[in-house]
Amino acid sequence: MPKFAANLTMLFTELDFLDRFDAAASTGFKAVEFLFPYSYKSDEIRERLARHDLELVLHNLPAGNWSAGDRGIACLPDRVDEYRSGVARAIKYAKELGCSQLNCLAGIGPNGTDPKVLYETFTENLRFTANQLEQSGIRLLIEPINTRDIPGFFLKGTQQAVEIIRDVGSSNLKLQYDVYHMQIMEGDLASTIERNLDLIGHIQVAENPGRHEPGTGEINFDFLFDFLDSIGYQGWIGCEYKPKTTTVAGLEWFEAYRAR
């Protein structure tokens, strides 16, 4: 049976962030994920996790100035020092919170920058990061993101990510496969996941169109979740969607899987 983690950046947003942990547990989730912990003290988050015996399965490396439009800085040649300082900060949080995976957002390539320079910067940063995280027992992930929602995002497809992973050459670097983003960019979800199963460390889900909960759009999630079981996917599935109304009202799909 699939293992689902509540994405607390997207779900229960009517609540203060720390109260979302309580809400996730009360609705049956055993694990959580979120974008960033850095606005909070690690002991505040750790207490909420411990209170409900929740596992933190993922958060992101620092991604620059999010409110100013940054969506990661790992591919940006003029921000390497900033990026690598962020790696140390992320490791500290992850170790204190018991988080075994960190996601690296590549970022938006500046207009006029040679794509080869962006590629080289990204891969060199990933080699550095994969090594640093491996020493702390933490796995590194990279996530392709659709360029309709984030125009110019550097990492935008599964095959591109696979080639980068192979180029970096670290067994500690895996793919975060987001069903919503890849439905927009590629489709062909099931065969792509099966073909790259050995490289996939984490999966996230949301419907298309609208990025709402499973069952509200064009993706056959009943098939897809059963398919993931049938091919032996063992990782977590992060629920990174925007509820169509409220989080609780939209959890019928989750209740159906819990009842199996």
- Judge whether 14 counts as a catalytic residue: no
Measured CA distances, 226 to 78, 159, 221 (Å): 44, 24, 8
Environment class of 259 (CB within 10 Å of its CB; exposed 0-12, middle 13-18, buried 19+): exposed
Strand partners, 238: 5, 204
- Judge whether 255 counts as a catalytic residue: no
CA trace torsion 76, 79, 80, 85 (10° rounding): -130
Instruction: Please identify which of the residues 47, 218, 240, 255 carries the catalytic annotation.
Output: 240
Helices 42-51 and 17-26, interaxial angle, to 10°? Answer: 20
CB atoms within 10 A of CB 133: 25
Residues 6+ apart with CB under 8 A from 169: 127
Residues 6+ apart with CB under 8 A from 194: 227, 231
3 state SS of 32? strand
Measured distance CA(202)–CA(192) in Å, rounded: 14
Measured distance CA(2)–CA(258) in Å, rounded: 9
Q: Which amino acid is at 193?
A: I
Measured distance CA(259)–CA(244) in Å, rounded: 22
Instruction: Please identify which of the residues 143, 213, 218, 252 carries the catalytic annotation.
Output: 143
For tokens 């994969």, name the residue. 130
Active site residues: 143, 240
